[in-house]
């Protein structure tokens, strides 16, 4: 009842009048100020929820990226909102046509736990830029951040502009059943299927930001140490708990040992004291930590060679769950670590004999949320891009494509659907409404029966074989 009451309040507010350009800019400006004012609170809340989370990681991925998104929207919003002229068919001139971008109404946002602040506030900013009211369901697995989001939203918005709903998975399921004008969900592919099914009952359009196994492919002649350095960054940032983290690596068999050495050296340089290093982030909760350990144990029991890049035994308590980055060499396909998204610091490394074999390995699986190619030969890069279909691609680096304001973020197939960020977020939460303005003097009366000679000859002429 409370969920429906909150939704109806937002819906009625929207029906009384959508936000003007000036109102949107004001709301985004207030949101920007609130995020800046609460930046240290975000850092503290994330550390409480993760047990330990690097301050710079929180500031970079949850605060800085969010502020960049808000700034980008404020800078470009007037141009985004401007109606676009469209051509009118010759036979209907002198009418004129345009596209107007109108707000949808009430947008629902279901945020995950891995970047709990950013992945709630960026969709909020996109939806506000498009002129919508918003209802947010933060993750129950990050209670400190979720409480902060509710407080921050209360500072910026009235309860008929944006509201935050707290609760467990049961509340989340009921949330997705509301008749939103658009629903964006970030989370696992399995839960995404349930979200889409719930939204279908109301014909609610959805943006699904899911996950999957995002590969990193190292070309035969690429400097393997450089690739290992960047892959280590992607696998260690937030302890690998990133939807676009490199899930596994494909590399030439001859480069295997060099990669493992370079990867381990990179980890040692970053975290010389992993157990006591506040810059190495913990696993979010015991459930996820236990899952990752079970997958690692399964691989070891199957005889897979594993290389822990750091002490295998790290502190494990209710408030601190640590797992060292661990390479798994050529694990067989039937292992869980090769069947499901890892979402942690385990890194399968698969060797290949030829590039075609590596591409075949990727193409035989679901379309990934991200694809990383390490290659300096432009013709080969173009050839690979001509065959790969992924949510996003980054050449010779990892993760950084996610933080670009003018590049959309979105999956494809099992990794999701739809886009947001920047103008693409504005478009996602808007209706591109075609409008035709009929001229005072026009020839449409010619189409009224009884049909005369002029219209008959004109239609015959225009449809002649």
Tokens found for residue 334: 């039937």
Tokens of 153: 């939203």
Question: Is 40 annotated as catalytic?
Answer: no
Q: Are the beta carbons of 122 and 109 closer than 8 angstroms?
A: no
- Tell me the residue length of the chain: 465
Please work out, in degrees rounded to the nearest 5, the angle formed at the alpha carbon of residue 120 by the alpha carbons of 4 and 142.
90
Token pair listed for 391: 């949510």
> What are the residues whose beta carbons fall under 8 Å from the beta carbon of 433, sequence distance 6 or more?
99, 100, 101, 102
C-alpha to C-alpha distance for 145 and 116, rounded to whole angstroms: 7
From the list 57, 69, 161, 209, the catalytic residue is 209
| 94 preceded by a cis bond (ω within 30 of 0) | yes
What whole-number distance in Å separates Cα of residue 116 and Cα of residue 133? 20
Long-range contact pairs involving 453-461 (C-beta distance under 8 Å, separation at least 24): 458/91
Q: Taking every pair of C-alpha atoms in the chain, what is the biggest distance, in angstroms?
A: 91
Comparing C-alpha atoms, which of 313, 292, 309, 114 is closest to residue 229? 309
Residue 79, Cα to own-chain centre: how many angstroms? 24
Question: Which regions of 272-331 does DSSP assign to beta strands (E)?
Answer: 305-308, 326-329
Is 236 a known active-site residue? Answer: no
- Percent of the chain as helix, strand, coil, to the nearest 5: 45, 15, 35
DSSP per-residue letters across 149-198: HHHHHHHH--TTTEEE----HHHHHHHHTS--SEEEEES-HHHHHHHHHH
Catalytic pick among 236, 243, 309, 394: 243
Token readout for 197 is 């099914």
b vs e for 66-85, b when ≥16 Cβ sit within 10 Å of the residue's Cβ?
bbbbbebbbebbeebbeeee
Roughly what angle, to the nearest 10 degrees, separates helices 118-129 and 143-156?
30
Catalytic residues: 209, 243
């Amino acid at each position: 009842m409370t969920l429906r009451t909150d939704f109806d309040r937002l819906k009625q507010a929207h029906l009384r009048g959508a936000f003007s350009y000036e109102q949107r800019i004001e709301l985004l400006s207030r949101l920007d100020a609130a995020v800046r004012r609460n930046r240290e609170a975000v850092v503290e809340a994330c550390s409480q929820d993760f047990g330990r989370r690097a301050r710079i990681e929180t500031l970079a991925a949850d605060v800085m990226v969010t502020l960049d998104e808000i700034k980008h929207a404020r800078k470009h919003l007037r141009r985004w909102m401007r109606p676009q002229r469209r051509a009118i068919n010759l036979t209907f001139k002198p009418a004129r046509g345009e596209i107007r971008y109108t707000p949808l109404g009430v947008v629902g946002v279901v945020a995950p736990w891995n970047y709990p602040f950013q992945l709630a506030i960026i969709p909020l900013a996109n939806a506000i830029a498009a002129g919508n009211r918003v209802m947010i369901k933060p993750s129950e697995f990050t209670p400190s951040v979720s409480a902060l989001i509710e407080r921050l939203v209360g500072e910026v918005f009235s309860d008929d502009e944006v509201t935050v709903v707290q609760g467990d998975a049961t509340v989340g399921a009921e949330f997705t059943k509301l008749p939103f004008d658009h629903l964006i969900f970030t989370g696992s592919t399995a839960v995404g299927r349930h979200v889409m099914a719930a939204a279908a009952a109301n014909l609610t359009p959805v943006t699904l930001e899911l996950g999957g196994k995002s590969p990193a492919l190292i070309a035969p002649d690429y400097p393997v140490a450089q690739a290992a350095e960047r892959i280590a960054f992607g696998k260690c940032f937030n302890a690998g708990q990133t939807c676009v983290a490199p899930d596994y690596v494909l590399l030439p068999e001859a480069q295997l040992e060099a990669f493992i050495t370079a990867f381990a050296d990179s980890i040692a340089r970053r975290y010389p004291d992993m157990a006591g290093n506040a810059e190495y982030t913990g696993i979010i909760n015991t459930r996820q930590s236990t899952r990752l350990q079970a997958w690692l144990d399964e691989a070891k029991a199957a005889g897979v060679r594993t290389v822990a890049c750091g002490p295998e035994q790290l502190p494990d308590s209710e408030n601190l769950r640590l797992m060292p980055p661990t390479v798994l060499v050529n694990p067989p396909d039937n292992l869980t670590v090769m069947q499901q998204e890892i979402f942690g610091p385990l890194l399968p490394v698969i060797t290949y004999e030829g590039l075609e074999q590596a591409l075949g390995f990727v193409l035989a699986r679901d379309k990934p949320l991200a694809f990383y190619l390490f290659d300096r030969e432009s013709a080969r890069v173009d050839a690979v891009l001509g065959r790969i279909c992924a949510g996003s691609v980054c050449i010779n680096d990892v993760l950084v494509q996610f933080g670009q304001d003018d590049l959309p973020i979105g999956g494809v197939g099992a990794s999701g659907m739809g886009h947001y960020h920047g103008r693409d977020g504005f478009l996602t939460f808007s209706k591109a409404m075609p409008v035709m303005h009929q001229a005072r003097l026009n020839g449409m009366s010619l189409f009224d029966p009884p049909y005369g000679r002029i219209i008959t000859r004109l239609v015959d002429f225009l449809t002649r074989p």
